[in-house]
């Protein structure tokens, strides 16, 4: 008999419709699948919209898994979809040589007609119990994706997630003893100025800069700002495009490298930000 701990954190997968829109609620026992050969224990850890996820919640998840690692064969985390990529990355970089830790969520609340909640929970439980995916993964709409490589590509389709680049962490980190220092995350647009970046980077431990395509920075004062910031903090360039960055491909990317920025390579923005938070707090 495989033993699975199902940890609930809120999100649409536990949501109910209210006059103010969908809000999280306790997960109904009716959603817990009955699968031969699998014993499921439910633990309600917290109940929030994933928009409200903060490092304190990652710490509770991390500690809960470590405290129960000997009693269970695998773990399933029910999570809101909007920040599941951040949670997946943090756990993937910190839970090493771990039993299956499978994240899942849903695009529709359980009581909504056509909801994907029950199907995704069962898929995640079966994935955790199979023992094939040791470590942190997302199981969603029939796809299994490495926890550090999750990207949400739709806010309406049930098949809402993809693998960003195939990235698998090779380096691991200790979970920070306290929240410590935080990175800033900035998206470069034609409307971004160097002063904007300086203001955002103030009192931060690093900056993740999401640019365009294969990566690069404009030939204006932003280049000078990055040159100055890179002397005192890590500056990592990411891309919103599947596949990642390649700063050596174009002149604008080489400009970023020359200014002292670091190529995120196969890391998504969420993955790069999570890793930077862990790295600067070691």
Sign, CA dihedral 64-68-69-74, equals negative
Q: Is 30 one of the annotated active-site residues of the chain?
A: no
Q: Is 82 one of the annotated active-site residues of the chain?
A: yes
Q: Two tokens at 110?
A: 């359980």
Contact status, residue 220 vs residue 245, Cβ threshold 8 Å = no
Q: Two tokens at 22?
A: 């969908």
Q: Is 149 one of the annotated active-site residues of the chain?
A: no
The edge-to-edge listing of strands for the beta sheet with 74-78 is 38-48, 2-10, 74-78, 100-104, 135-140, 143-146
As a dihedral over the C-alpha atoms of residue 93, residue 97, residue 100, residue 106, rounded to 10 degrees, the angle is: 0
Q: How far apart are CA 25 and CA 11, in angstroms?
A: 8
Catalytic residue among 181, 223, 246, 250: 250
Catalytic residue among 12, 87, 94, 245: 12
Catalytic residue among 9, 81, 94, 127: 81
Q: How far apart are CA 279 and CA 159, in angstroms?
A: 32
Q: Is 12 one of the annotated active-site residues of the chain?
A: yes
Tally helices (H) and strands (E) across the chain.
7, 14
Catalytic residue among 42, 152, 158, 181: 152
Q: How far apart are CA 180 and CA 196, in angstroms?
A: 24
Q: Two tokens at 86?
A: 């951040």
Query: Which residues are within 8 A (CB) of 96 and not within 5 positions of it... i.e. 6 or more apart?
Result: 172
Q: Two tokens at 238?
A: 């990411």
Q: Two tokens at 143?
A: 């796809």
Query: So which residues are the catalytic ones?
Result: 12, 81-82, 152, 250
């Amino acid at each position: 008999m495989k033993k699975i701990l199902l940890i609930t954190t809120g999100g649409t997968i536990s949501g109910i419709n209210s006059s103010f829109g969908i809000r999280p609620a306790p997960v109904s026992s009716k959603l817990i699948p009955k699968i031969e050969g699998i014993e499921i224990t439910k633990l309600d850890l917290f109940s929030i919209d994933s928009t409200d996820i903060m490092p304190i919640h990652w710490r509770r998840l991390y500690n809960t898994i470590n405290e129960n690692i000997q009693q269970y064969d695998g773990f399933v985390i029910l999570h809101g979809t909007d920040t599941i990529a951040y949670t997946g990355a943090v756990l993937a970089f910190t839970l090493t040589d771990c039993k299956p830790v499978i994240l899942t969520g849903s695009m529709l609340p359980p009581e909504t007609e056509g909801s994907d909640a029950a199907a995704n929970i069962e898929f995640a439980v079966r994935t955790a119990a199979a023992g094939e995916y040791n470590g942190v993964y997302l199981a969603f709409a029939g796809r299994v994706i490495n926890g550090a490589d999750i990207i949400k590509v739709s806010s309406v389709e049930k098949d809402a997630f993809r693998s960003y680049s195939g990235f698998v962490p090779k380096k691991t980190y200790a979970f920070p003893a306290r929240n410590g220092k935080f990175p800033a995350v900035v998206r470069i647009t034609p409307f971004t100025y160097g002063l904007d970046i300086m203001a955002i980077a103030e009192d931060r431990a690093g900056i993740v800069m999401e640019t365009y395509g294969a990566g690069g920075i404009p030939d204006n004062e932003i280049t000078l700002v990055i040159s100055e910031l890179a002397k005192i903090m890590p500056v990592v360039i990411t891309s919103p495009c599947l596949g990642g960055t390649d700063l050596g491909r174009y002149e604008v990317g080489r400009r970023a490298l020359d200014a002292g920025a670091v190529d995120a390579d196969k890391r998504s923005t969420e993955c790069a930000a999570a890793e930077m938070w862990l790295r600067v707090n070691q």
